[in-house]
Structure 1
Amino acid sequence: MSSFAGVSVVEDGGLCDSTVAFINTSSECGYHLLVVENYSRTNKSRPTSESVTSREFGVGGHCWLIKCFPNGKSTDCADFVSLDVVLDDDDDGKTPVKAKFTFSFIDQVEMQNPLYVGQAETCSFPSKGSSWGYDRFVRKDAVERSMNLEAECFTIRCDIMVCNTEDDDAAGHGNGVRLPDICHHFNNLLQTKVGADVTFEVSGETFPAHRCVLAARSKVFMAQLFGPMKETSTVIHIKDMEAKVFRALLSFIYTDSFPGMEMDDMEDDETEVDEMRLQWLQDLLVAADRYDLQRLKFICEMQLSENIQVSSVASTLVLAEQHHCSGLKEACFKFIQAQSPSCLQTLMASHGWQHILATYPLVLNELIAKLIALNQK
């Protein structure tokens, strides 16, 4: 998995101001997002061979830049958008930096796996200013027809993998990213508001974010932020969600990694920790379904399926029914079928089971049908 290395927002052909000029990740594999807003104006302001440039960011111990040529890098490719990744280290004269890289639109998730990046050609960057890229990355007319341009914007993701052949230990863990690293860089983004153009207020906490990034990952955010009934306010209030859940949701959107539960919430009692994690996972699944983040929803389903208990199966089954999680529902049925008579008595006496009886009788009918079929076998 790649580590998050920041966001650059280009608007009307220029780089938006920010309070932080450099975001670094120590991981050998990281990615930076280049958000281009008001595409038409950016396109007009940059003739062929002129680029818009990201802010500097760090991956694998080196500094990098992204250059985007809206009208092509040269007259030979004037009908294309050209992209370059540029080494921006200050110290020249060292061993050339060897790295692999890929460009993709942010919604092209299959292109962003480190295994895919690792298949790219290794390029040598001998000194500051050395660059490699794609003169014909995508045709301009294809960009202009893209769904990402409903909001006159698109987001390019640049994945970089530094190839450290002299350090076997570093190469051994180059494809891995520790959760604390991801959380650190994501929290740094929230605190510094790098290029943010919208703020969410959730249960008393504020979260700056980028409209284009959210819209590119979620059709719900696209409709909310750019649709006919879009929110025009720069502060959007969400009153029916906990701040820690929304923070996890944003973390997934920006890092494409499953977030860990916040350590500040942990208690010494193991039972309390399990209960809190269960509630957190259930709330995160609801949030993922609400914003149509299907991969996050699927991961939550898998996590919940692997941690079903007698005390939680009723609430989990209700959740699965409400949010159309067929896999999680089936896992609950299998868990119930495997229980002893005494455990089933405990389950049926619980408040959660009484809620199922009163509210979801069809679920009970489905379970009974499965139990009958199992006994017949």
Structure 2
Amino acid sequence: MSFAGVSVVDGAKRCTCDTSAVYAGADSGYHLLMVRDYSRTKLQLPTGESATTGLFTVGEYDWYIEYYPNGENPNCRDFVSLYVTRHTLYDCEGEEDVEAKFSFSLVDQLEKHKPVYIHGTNKTCTFSSSAPSWGSDRFVRQDALERSAHLKGDCLTIRCDIMVVCKDHKIEDAAGAISDINQHFAHLLQNKVGADVTFEVGGETFAAHRCVLAARSKVFMAQLFGPMKEGATTSSVIQIKDMEAKVFRALLSFIYTDSLPAMEKDSMEDEMSEVMDEGREEAAEFEMWLQWLEDLFVAADRYDLQMLKLICEKQLSEHISVSSVTSTLALAEKHHCCGLKEACLKFIQVQSPSCLQTVMATSGWDHIAVTYPWVVKEFIAKLASNQRK
């Protein structure tokens, strides 16, 4: 990755940035966005208004980043929104479309800076004159950011990685080419060529390859090649209970591609059909995504896929809310996930008395008190420690 400069957003200077004049003509590069005085920036820029970086160059194209501290629209006002835009001239007829992958991360999220991660976890977007901007309207919840170690001295630094993946001119030097092995394995899963094991999950059947599953999961290794192996012949079907088909499909996708897939739009639309008239589409979509993520976390733990479990844990930690914290806390305790448990306890710990009462009045908190009473004791100890400080 080539370095493509730094922009600074200062809370005292609304929508003004200083950009270093660094040119990254390579087909991939990253730009750093430093946000100083985060709290003041949050106060000065209401929902829908952004601070914009100066131009930087990656892959011979000019880009800039839009930073929305209070969300790009009212549906995501509790989140920080980020968008990357390809800069074009006003008279841009005839300009070529640019296909690129991009990723936003915080500078200390080192695992997200690797080219293979960016290539594998992000879809290719077409930046055109009609759609020059792409991004994340829910990059991180404000409350999660504000209680995290990413915000230091009321400052944070965001990294934007861009990979131009389709250009008109021929790339002469392939030395820096990114491996596309994950795409080949994705095609193998989709085409089912050579599949030698079949699973039935939630009324659907899935064909897969024993060697791939066994190489990725010790549980599948024991299940498919151990003394008690199942599905010894290609005609037999292995039944998997207590899991939805969409979750198992996502699990298989991760096994073959080593990247977290997006939740299926079709299943989301089917489940949302009952709430469409209530004007709760955004909230319902988020709740369904969160439930899907929790189920995928459980599946990752079940099949000992530690990287997938870690990815789900991080996503869940960044999206804790008053309505979800008890279910997430119970999930973390049941599956021995200390990091997620600590994030939940910290979230509850910093809530106002009224929010704390709301959390403790839920059936989820009652479940924790009965099933995991030691967690309640840990929480009380944390509150007592706070009062002594």
Range class of TM-score, shorter chain: 0.5 to 0.7
Contact 2:253–2:259 under 8 Å retained in 1: yes
The 3 A distance-change label for structure 1 pair 250 and 330 is same
Aligned to 1:241: 243
The 3 A distance-change label for structure 1 pair 270 and 176 is farther
Q: Residue type of the partner of 1:358?
A: V
Aligned to 2:288: 276
Aligned to 2:375: 363
Aligned to 2:145: none
Deviation at residue 263 of structure 1 after TM alignment: 1.1
The 3 A distance-change label for structure 1 pair 242 and 343 is same
Q: Residue type of the partner of 1:362?
A: W
CA–CA distance in structure 2, aligned partners of residues 375 and 348 of structure 1: 19
Residue by residue over 1:171-215, the C-alpha shift from the partner in whole angstroms, topping out at 9 and shown as x without a partner, is: 9x97599xxx96x983x5445321100011101111110001000
Q: Which runs of 4+ in 1 moved over 6 A?
A: 162-165
Contact 1:201–1:235 under 8 Å retained in 2: yes
Q: Which has the higher contact order (CA 8 A, sep 6+)?
A: 1
The 3 A distance-change label for structure 1 pair 176 and 261 is farther
Residue by residue over 1:30-59, the C-alpha shift from the partner in whole angstroms, topping out at 9 and shown as x without a partner, is: xxxxxxxxxxxxxxxxxxxxxxxxxxxxxx
Q: Residue type of the partner of 1:320?
A: A
Contact 1:199–1:209 under 8 Å retained in 2: yes
Deviation at residue 359 of structure 1 after TM alignment: 1.0
Contact 1:190–1:207 under 8 Å retained in 2: no
Aligned to 1:341: 353
Counterpart of 1:324 in 2: which secondary structure? coil
TM-score by length of 1: 0.52
Counterparts of residues 297-316 of structure 1 (less than 5 Å): 297-316=309-328
The 3 A distance-change label for structure 1 pair 376 and 311 is same
User: What is the RMSD computed on CA atoms of the aligned residues?
Assistant: 3.4
Q: Residue type of the partner of 2:225?
A: F
Counterparts of residues 1-377 of structure 1 (less than 5 Å): 114=115, 166-167=169-170, 186=186, 189-231=188-230, 232-233=232-233, 234-266=236-268, 267=272, 269-377=281-389
CA–CA distance in structure 1, aligned partners of residues 375 and 247 of structure 2: 28
Counterpart of 2:260 in 1: which secondary structure? coil
Query: Any gaps of 5 or more consecutive residues in structure 1?
Result: 1-27, 30-109, 119-161
Residue by residue over 1:116-172, the C-alpha shift from the partner in whole angstroms, topping out at 9 and shown as x without a partner, is: 9x9xxxxxxxxxxxxxxxxxxxxxxxxxxxxxxxxxxxxxxxxxxx9989457x99x
CA–CA distance in structure 2, aligned partners of residues 236 and 359 of structure 1: 32
The 3 A distance-change label for structure 1 pair 176 and 165 is farther
Counterpart of 1:236 in 2: which secondary structure? strand
Residue by residue over 1:224-256, the C-alpha shift from the partner in whole angstroms, topping out at 9 and shown as x without a partner, is: 000111112531111210000000000000001
Query: Any gaps of 5 or more consecutive residues in structure 2?
Result: 1-26, 29-110, 120-164
Q: Report how many aligned residue pairs link the two structures.
A: 217
Q: Residue type of the partner of 1:241?
A: M
CA–CA distance in structure 1, aligned partners of residues 363 and 179 of structure 2: 43
Q: Residue type of the partner of 2:243?
A: M
Residue by residue over 1:8-42, the C-alpha shift from the partner in whole angstroms, topping out at 9 and shown as x without a partner, is: xxxxxxxxxxxxxxxxxxxx99xxxxxxxxxxxxx
CA–CA distance in structure 1, aligned partners of residues 375 and 243 of structure 2: 27
Counterpart of 1:308 in 2: which secondary structure? coil
Contact 2:116–2:179 under 8 Å retained in 1: no
Contact 1:193–1:209 under 8 Å retained in 2: yes
Identity of aligned residues (%): 69
CA–CA distance in structure 2, aligned partners of residues 329 and 283 of structure 1: 16
Residue by residue over 1:56-108, the C-alpha shift from the partner in whole angstroms, topping out at 9 and shown as x without a partner, is: xxxxxxxxxxxxxxxxxxxxxxxxxxxxxxxxxxxxxxxxxxxxxxxxxxxxx
CA–CA distance in structure 1, aligned partners of residues 191 and 292 of structure 2: 26
Counterpart of 2:238 in 1: which secondary structure? strand
Contact 1:357–1:364 under 8 Å retained in 2: yes
Contact 2:185–2:257 under 8 Å retained in 1: no
Deviation at residue 265 of structure 1 after TM alignment: 2.5
CA–CA distance in structure 1, aligned partners of residues 383 and 244 of structure 2: 38
Counterpart of 2:206 in 1: which secondary structure? strand
TM-score by length of 2: 0.51
CA–CA distance in structure 2, aligned partners of residues 248 and 191 of structure 1: 12
Residue by residue over 1:242-292, the C-alpha shift from the partner in whole angstroms, topping out at 9 and shown as x without a partner, is: 000000000000001111111113346111111101110110000000000
Contact 2:185–2:256 under 8 Å retained in 1: no
Contact 2:220–2:303 under 8 Å retained in 1: yes
Contact 2:317–2:340 under 8 Å retained in 1: yes
Contact 1:289–1:323 under 8 Å retained in 2: yes
